[in-house]
Amino acid sequence: MAQAFTKEMSRNIFYGGTAFFFLLFLALTFDTHLALPERDNRAALDPATERGQLIAQGKQLWEENDCIGCHTLLGEGAYFAPELGNVYTRYGSSKEAIMGFIKGRPKDGIPGRRSMPQFNLSDEELAAIAEFLQYVSEIDTANWPPNIQG
């Protein structure tokens, strides 16, 4: 086998295989982007609407406070705090409940237990984050997570 199978053959498998499967990946990527409008809840993002602007602001606040450093969002992130992709439904489809929770975090934490920091966000900022989380909960995630607990 050592004689029959040359370095040139394995090199060709590398270049040929990589090129073929990368092109296939590009094709699947293209097809995915054609399918996404039906699934990704983009109607909510329209920047001409107040809701769209709030969601964009909410996403930026989500990022600039590094929420992903403790939580998962659609299962991605850190595993220290609850999944938030479905927190809107878990909180009874109430944005007020989400805002109240974030607002009510004790500044010095809870003795001996994990606690979300107090981020001192304004009411407008809280509303933006809640709007963002509602938008995320309306993305078609192929029925994930398995139940309301996330």
Under rule CB under 8 A, which residues in 6-45 are in contact with other proteins?
Answer: 6-7, 10-11, 13-14, 17-18, 21-22, 24-25, 28-29, 31-32, 35-36, 39-42, 45
- Asked if 89 interacts with other proteins (CB under 8 A), we say no
Q: Which of 50, 75, 96, 100 binds other proteins (CB under 8 A)?
A: 75
- Asked if 139 interacts with other proteins (CB under 8 A), we say yes
Q: Which of 111, 122, 123, 124 binds other proteins (CB under 8 A)?
A: 111
Angstrom distances, CA of residue 111 to CA of 106, 107, 114, 118: 11, 12, 8, 15
Residues 6 or more apart from 139 whose CB is under 8 A from it? 39, 40, 41, 74, 85
Q: Which of 30, 49, 108, 122 binds other proteins (CB under 8 A)?
A: 108
Question: Angle at CA 131, nearest 5°, toward 83 and 123?
Answer: 105
- Asked if 123 interacts with other proteins (CB under 8 A), we say no
* Minimum CB distance to other proteins, residue 23 (Å): 10
* Minimum CB distance to other proteins, residue 95 (Å): 17
Question: Angle at CA 100, nearest 5°, toward 96 and 106?
Answer: 170
Q: Which of 54, 55, 99, 127 binds other proteins (CB under 8 A)?
A: 55
Question: Coil, strand, or helix at residue 5?
Answer: coil
Bridge partner list, 104:
none
Q: Which two three-digit tokens encode residue 140?
A: 């078609």
Q: Which of 51, 93, 130, 145 binds other proteins (CB under 8 A)?
A: 145
- Asked if 97 interacts with other proteins (CB under 8 A), we say no
Q: Which two three-digit tokens encode residue 59?
A: 């996403």
Q: Which two three-digit tokens encode residue 122?
A: 């304004």
